[in-house]
Structure 1
Amino acid sequence: MRRAMLVAAVLLGLSAVPATATADPLVMPHVVVAHTTWWAELAVRNAGGTVVAAYPQIGVVVAYTARDDFAAKVRRTPGIDAVGATRTAKIPKEFFAPRKDVRYTGPDSPNSGQVPPEGTSWDVPALHLPEAHQVTEGSRRTLVGVLDVGVDDTHPDLKPAFDAKNSVSCLSGWADRSPGAWRPTLDGHGTHVAGTIAAARTGTGVVGVAPGTRIAAVKLAELDDTETAESMVCGFVWAAEHGFAVTNNSYRSIPWRYNCDDQPDQAAAKLAVGRAVAYAQRRNVLVVASAGNAGIDLDTRSVDRESPADSTPVDRRIDPTCTRLPHELPGVVGTGALDEKLLKASFSNYSASRISVAAPGARVWSTWPNGEYRSASGTSMAAPHASGVAALIASEHPRWSAERIKRALYETATPLSCPDTVCRETPAGTTYYGHGMVDAASAVGAG
């Protein structure tokens, strides 16, 4: 019950604002996509909206309004490509204010005292990390962005790698650089992801795939899987503008788990986020994402029972053209999860084209807020293993483009055969594993 109340609070924008915020007018956030942002800003104001942020690099404006006819009015403006609400329920306008006094109040780790000795958890030998680390543990030149629910930079395993200068909160669609705004409040998910990528070799706790690299927190949400289009737009533009080599994206968006082109709001979100991801990729940011935990064939999906995730979900018909953001956008490294037997984890989605690689994702030990550790499972845990290996490649080859790093990640992956008749062979590998399991030792020897 407590978690259900927290989720409702977050989706209403109440979790990090004063109690008086509930008396403020309720507003609906939107993304507006156009050729020029000054024209889009003018259209927003003329339609009774308030501009939150403008991203001229990609032609996207984040706005909010209390008016129910806002989107229809803006859509009638010449030169506007798309307009879409990013919620199905209005939120307090105070949600867009800066965050202050951010502190973690979420759950403690249920198993922190059981963490195995550093470097002995099963994912370490599976990825051949000891061999890879004899070559490199990563370079401080390499910056990896953890786009998630925030990272606890005070954790002793994360302090050595953390880059506060390049960390930010994009929770409300604008870059909030308030000190500590990037930290988590309700969920340790981002801290867990960060530890898998770059936890330091301290003699206790866990060790990351690339402990010699730097990590930056880009906070997109308060709880896992409540990321919005405006937070993702802000996050990917931030990554592009701040020299990130890799971004890890272990989440899925709200309100729509799949964004369909024939629905105006969803199409606008897909277009806005797609532009932001493409911009980051053009700026040599490798985008890695989790492939999802429904255990389904993404190529044949037909029903979405989880949307809208910010109000009351209903069953709706979808097809494979409806897009999971950001995982299914062009060029994104979709990562499936493996268990200890190096088989597809039962929960991991699969696809002929949407799974690029596989990585450990079951019972993975990593960092948790307040100096704790936790074992967790999901493709959320697989993606940071792939991000860490990509960071090692980037460290060894600092002049390589993101595309060249991605190609090396694929070429050095260990091919895995289909274990059953559901899995299918593909030109790139298999529907379960894509090119195969990422291999840190092979990757750092890639030429």
Structure 2
Amino acid sequence: MRRSCRWSMPVAAALCFVSTYARAGQIDPGLQEILDGAPADQVFSVIAFLNEQVDLTAATRQMDVERATLQRRHEHVIVSLQGVADTTQGAVRAFLQQGVADGGVRSFEAVWIRNLFIVEATKATIIELAAHPDVDRVYFDYEIELIKPMPVVDAPNHGDEEVPQAPEIGLVAIRAPEVWAMGIDGSGVLVSNMDTGVDGNHPALRDRWAGVADSRYQGHPEWAYFDPFGGRHDFPRDQNGHGTHTMGTVTGGPPGDQIGVAPGAFWIAAAPIDRGGGIPRTVADAILSFQWLADPDGNPNTNWDVPATNSNSWGVTTGHGYPPCDQTFWSYIDACEAAGIFVTFSAGNEGSSGLRRPADRATTDYNCNAVAAIDANNPNWPIASFSSRGPTNCTPDGRQAIKPDIGAPGVDVRSSLPGGGYGRLSGTSMASPHINGVAALMRQANPNISVDDMKQVMYETAVDLGNPGEDNSYGWGMVDAFEAVSRVLNANDPYACCFGDGSCSDVLPQDCRAAGGKSRFGYECGQISCPQPGACCFDDGTCDDILEANCTAPGSDWSEGDCGSVDCPQPGACCFDDGTCQMLGPVACENAGGEFSGHGISCDDAGCPQPGACCVTDDECRILGPDACRAAGGSFKGHDTTCTNACPCDKIAKLKAKCNDSGNVKVVVKIVDDSMNGERITVDVRGTRVVTGVLGNKAKLIAGPFSGPVPVRVVDPDCTNTVTAQCP
């Protein structure tokens, strides 16, 4: 059931954090390119984001301050998201309903997880929708695909694949059996994946599907399996095999083979990716899947049905229509994680070509959790050749950041396949389910630990591989389930909390987050050194003593020391197209559409270029800057030029036409000077176009015979003056 935002609750002021964007609706450039040239009645699938959105950062901060339980976080976030949607979607819904009646809208669906509509409509209706005052932006509904496994080349000889491997070598590598020996195997934890589906009859998985393993699902299999493609939510199935393999790595176990990291966990699944025979599915299916995962039973007051973890072995590339740093999926991931779901993505199998989206995101230390593939069959644990490498520029200021975040076994991984069998696949698709399983073990060890704290502990306890520290191949290294779980077992004790001023205090992790600090699990302040602040020079020339990690504003630059010991570059002249000038930093200048002249250069010394003559047409001249001239479709004649004789028609001093007794019309075009000498012009003589050359400052031609009045006009250049010759 749906829930509106509970404005009457005591914490009503904190329940619905809303961000409102002031701009009018816009069509995304990618969609505009698709629409251009299409007939007005052609139908497209689009996604329309509304202006008002929940501020998930503020909502999470509020929950940290309250020391909220996982259930409280879930209720708070879902009620807020649904409340904003319920109170703001009415006008757009009415517009779309009218569109259905008028034939311009084929179908639409309202979505609350990020306040949007998924719409199938004609081009003409989409343009109207984008102009609606409640709409922020409209995007094309692009295709997405799973990260297809790599061929298993030169695989080790594992003998008869029907002989159970207990446990698999990848599980041993990440020390999962050592965690099981502690009595922690994922019991009581619900895991999930978003993939091609799962074979619910597989012996390693069937007893763990929540739809049959948990009596609370009785009569409601749709709470445990979501099929946006076929609408068959009654029982999990998988015609592809990819989703069955990845889920097996998360939680597969007896009576099947020991293939899963968290064999005690129950699972649910969404199946929006590459359904049946490689049929590509759309962003719309993924959006609906994220929404389902955030609240499977439709009741925000319950969270037993909400998975603790979710792995995604899919991604998109530029070839799918998504440029680097595309933000399409960011907000859905943020909503799920704000509600308490640990979300992880495979980095991609593109090697040095870079990460897929959204795994390339690095807007914080924790978003988005991207997983590399490591060969656990080799005792040296080399990074897989296909595993996507960093860096990424998807940061708040566009600077490079290290990606991926962490590694896991992803080469020759044995797991479940549809039909009850097992098989080996390679890819980062096989690596991210290991992270899913480790997160499940951590959540059992500490049920209310936050998503960001789970990631931090995972990174801190990883086995460092490759270059010392974090690197663009392994991230922080191979995940270590035993160390991660051991660290969070006591995560409700006070630990070292590092603050922005470099100070440290031993406090509870939730209090550390609420105060803006960063916990160091397993350590006291006397055992660590917190990062110290330094001088952060901003684009506008000001300075602040802050941590390097917080010096992320566009154009900022951090250095050791303090602001008193550094000279920050100062703003300079920023010249605009209209000839005006402002003192700005280089980033602010670029964002404002200007040209930066250099730090410390004044507007008086910059000598900004001034506007000049712009021939908007052959017959019309305006004084504009070059950018404004091009935007008007004109031809810019140079800075500081005047409109005097600047455009082609201005150079025509006189047009004469005279008809002789034979009916032939003699035309003379006189030019103001010889600047057009040798050029060709076209003259229309009563519908007949004649091309002639300019000799010196004149062009002459004879056409005919005609009778009666004969209108004559120069058409190239396109001039408006017309004369008439009278023929017998």
Question: TM-score normalized by structure 1?
Answer: 0.73
Equivalent residue, structure 2, for 1:147: 194
Change (3 A) 1:177 1:328: farther
Q: For 2:48 and 2:336, how far apart are their aligned partners in 1?
A: 19
Q: Residue 288 in 1 paired to residue 344 in 2?
A: yes
In structure 1, distance between residues paired with 2:343 and 2:279:
17
Match of 1:411 in 2: 460
2:427 is matched with 378
Q: Which deviates more from structure 2 when the two are superposed, residues 349-358 or residues 324-333?
A: 324-333
Question: Structure 1, residues 164-201: CA drift from partner, whole Å, max 9, x if none?
Answer: 243233534xx946312x4223x000000000000023
Q: Percent identity?
A: 26
Residue matched to 1:196 = 249
Letter in 2 for 1:213: A
Residue number in structure 2 paired with 1:337: 373
The structure carrying a bigger strand percent of its residues is 2
Picking from 298, 315, 320, the partner of 1:252 is: 315
1:325 paired to 2:358? yes
**C-alpha separation in 1, matches of 2:233 and 2:472:** 43
Find the residue that maps to 1:446 and give its secondary structure: helix
Which of the residues 425, 431, 442 maps onto 2:472? 431
Return the offset for 1:51. Answer: 4.2
How do residues 264-275 of structure 1 correspond to structure 2 at under 5 angstroms?
Answer: 270-271=327-328, 273-275=329-331
Letter in 2 for 1:33: F
Q: Report the 3-state secondary structure (helix = DSSP H, G, I; strand = E; otherwise coil) of the residue aligned with 1:386.
A: helix
For residue 324 of structure 1, what is the amino acid of its counterpart? R
Q: Is the 8 A contact 2:259 2:414 kept in 1?
A: no
Distance 1:163 1:169 in 2: 13
- Contact 1:32–1:84, Cα closer than 8 Å, also in 2: yes
Give the secondary structure class of the aligned counterpart of 1:415. coil
The 1:159–1:128 alpha-carbon spacing in structure 2 relative to 1, beyond 3 Å, is same
* Partner residue, 2:265: 213
| Residue 126 of structure 1, CA deviation | 0.9
Distance of aligned partners of 1:27 and 1:115 in 2 relative to their CA distance in 1, 3 Å threshold: farther
Rate the CA distance shift 1:76–1:329 in 2: closer, same or farther, 3 A: farther
SS at match of 1:381: helix
Contact preservation (8 Å) 1:86, 1:255 = no
Amino acid in the other structure paired with 1:69: A
Superposed CA offset, 1:328-371 (max 9, x none):
37522100001122111010001143311000001000000111
**Alignment partners' CA distance in 1, 2:159 and 2:420:** 9
What is the CA distance between 1:162 and its match in structure 2? 1.0
Structure 2: segments with no counterpart, 5+ residues:
1-40, 53-87, 144-157, 212-220, 297-305, 392-401, 489-728
Amino acid at match of 1:71: I
Determine helix, strand or coil for the equivalent of 1:445: helix
Separation in 2, partners of 1:116, 1:336: 29
1:76 maps to 2:131:
yes
* Residue 409 of structure 1: how far off its partner (Å): 1.5
Alignment check: 8 A CA contact 1:412 1:439 kept: yes
2 CA distance for matches of 1:210 and 1:409?
16
- Separation in structure 1 between the aligned mates of residue 341 and residue 279 of structure 2, nearest angstrom: 22
The SS at the match of 1:123 is helix
User: Contact 1:246–1:285 at 8 Å: present in 2 too?
Assistant: yes
Long gaps (5+) in structure 1:
1-24, 89-110, 300-322, 419-424
Q: Which residue in 2 is equivalent to 1:316?
A: none
Shift of 1:26: 9.2
CA contact (8 A) 2:250 2:433 kept: yes
Matched, 1:230 2:284: yes
How does 1:128-143 map onto structure 2 within 5 Å?
128-143=175-190
Report the Cα distance in structure 1 between the residues aligned to 2:359 and 2:227, rounded to whole angstroms.
Answer: 16
Residue 162 of structure 1 is matched in structure 2 by 209
Report the CA distance shift for 1:84/1:246 in structure 2 as closer, same or farther (over 3 A).
same
1:44 pairs, out of 69, 80, 96, with 96
Q: 1:119 aligns with which of 145, 157, 166?
A: 166
In structure 2, distance between residues paired with 1:44 and 1:159: 42
Structure 1 residue 246, shift from structure 2 partner: 0.8
Aligned letter for 1:85? Answer: F
Change (3 A) 1:162 1:255: farther
Distance 2:478 2:425 in 1: 19
Structure 1 residues 126 and 43: alpha-carbon distance in aligned structure 2, compared to 1, 3 A threshold: same
Correspondence for 1:104: none
Q: Is the 8 A contact 2:209 2:266 kept in 1?
A: yes
Q: How many angstroms apart in 1 are the aligned matches of 2:420 and 2:42?
A: 38
1:117 partner letter: P
Counterparts of 1:7-46 in structure 2, within 5 Å, are 28-34=44-50, 35=52, 36-46=88-98
Contact 1:413 1:435 in 2 (8 A): yes
Partner SS for 2:315: coil
The yes-or-no answer on 1:440 pairing with 2:481 is yes
Measure the CA separation in 2 of the matches of 1:212 and 1:206. 11
Aligned counterpart, 2:29: none
For residues 165 and 372 of structure 2, the distance between their equivalents in structure 1, rounded to whole angstroms, comes to 25
When residues 141 and 274 of structure 1 are mapped into structure 2, their CA distance, relative to the original with a 3 A threshold, is: same
User: Structure 1 residue 240 and structure 2 residue 288: aligned?
Assistant: no
| 2:473 partner letter | Y
Distance 1:63 1:167 in 2: 27
- Residues 236 and 123 (structure 1 numbering): CA distance in 2 closer, same or farther, change over 3 Å? same
8 A contact 1:297–1:349 mirrored in 2: yes
Max Rg structure: 2
Cα pair distance change 1:329/1:170, threshold 3 Å = farther
| Matched-pair contact (CA < 8 Å) for 2:189–2:444 | yes
Whether the aligned pair in 2 keeps the contact of 1:206 and 1:367 (CA below 8 Å) is no
Aligned match of 1:171: 228
Which amino acid in the other structure matches residue 172 of structure 2?
P
The structure with higher relative contact order (CA 8 Å, sep 6+) is 1
Tell me the CA shift for residue 324 of structure 1.
0.9
Q: CA deviation digits over 1:107-161, x for unaligned, max 9? A: xxxx996245332532122111221210134344311111001011110100121
Q: Note closer, same or farther for the CA distance 1:87–1:356 as it changes in structure 2 (3 Å cut).
A: closer
- d(CA) in 2 for partners of 1:249, 1:178: 20
Structure 1 position 59 matched with structure 2 position 115: yes
Match of 2:449 among 400, 408, 419: 400
Compared with structure 1, are the counterparts of its residues 188 and 291 closer, same or farther at alpha carbon in structure 2 (3 Å cutoff)? same
